[in-house]
Structure 1
């Protein structure tokens, strides 16, 4: 895995916010700007949202800067930033040439740039902690983001998932905090052997200083996670003066796409859900004991 933590993902998000700010200062709606630039509104939307696959041609950037009456400082900065996107390539790009969904590409970039990741999962072990055999079964299910029956795509998806796991042991690895519903441990994915291997993988992961796993027992009763479903909250490194360089992002994925939330009220809502679920879950030591206990049950199956 590349040691360049941010790659172009965070850079593109910064470019997008800068262009959005310039457009609004210029008093233009996205529709108005698209019309004057003779570009599709969807293209401007992708630029302002930091989409990975947008190509910043210098002539197009200059046209936008002219329309927005950008200052010389902003012009110099954005020309340099957009030029940088043409020179860098993130390690995961090659995986997306085989049919894996582009909407997931942004998440992989954000995950690679995060300083802390919090994940609640009611149904499955998160991808960063899955064994290869467990992942192979997940990608054969209807609703998987890749085509059923396409072994090439499934193999590439599994390889990407395994490659992503190097994130947890790299230099300056993010803090990963995971809360799993008890159902994740008890509902078999594949055989008892696969589940036993998976639970051992969970326990091994908790030996890392930057990984914690908590279990939300059935007996915890109704909890806020029951309303939200699975989600991931990603926090990013601060600047040298402690300033926020990138807003917290909450990621929700679906069968056909993904949702990225970063408005303060959205972040506050999911932080409140996380606090509720974490407060009801077993602590780390009791969670490990439960994983051990259920692993023993699979070993006797």
Structure 2
């Protein structure tokens, strides 16, 4: 069954239980069940947030959308974006920097968890509105993706990582939170991941959508890889700053501003902060669950050779001919 669209000339979707029951349903990884909408899979909370965003989001000048597959460096990039865009007002070495007082999720909200009436309330102390989401590009509001006249200059930053590492991180996350009613086994999670019924999956389709858009509109979409951000953070942060129209000045380079942002936002620094090790983003979803280890190559260590080979095969098959390599 095809889900309704949310274009201006279509009947608005009401995300009711009755409407949810009309959608294809499958088991999920981080939630017990997911629902298929516009070709991708979402939990009920994420889907409600998506519908709200599609129907009520109104762009503003210099808005930034950070998009990731779940467990692909979202929290890290939230911190980097906030520090980068607000570096004039909040120096990275300031002992009272907002990132030392609040979690990245408080400063850069998930739009799926934010009521439309609260879209502006998070950014009273920020130079730009920065929203995070896991939405595929076909699901983003058209006001975000079709800003062809440049009137609002909305930028989309997309970050993804090795598929095997993403899956392993997602599996641990699912069992380290209280969102599921019961733990999920590695084998079942792997089966569902390969089927694509995880949040915002199939992951390959989501990644390809942003990859292709970044090739067609490089001034609109910046495609970034987690592994490159880990291995060459200074180069990638400078690249990000240029894309956002906020390049580092010669004076900032002399004062080692890139180093300071890198240090402030590092896994080691952020995971030690009390604000990130206590409290909850949502009931059952602790702030500490977003800081596990952030390592590269964990997929090859944790998966059986057969599992790793299967994910590599699917990835090669899905990305074949696209020019994309992860």
**TM-score, structure 1 length as denominator?**
0.29
In terms of fraction of residues, the more helix-rich structure is 1
**TM-score, structure 2 length as denominator?**
0.28
**Bigger relative CO (Cα 8 Å, ≥ 6 apart):** 2
Larger radius of gyration: 1
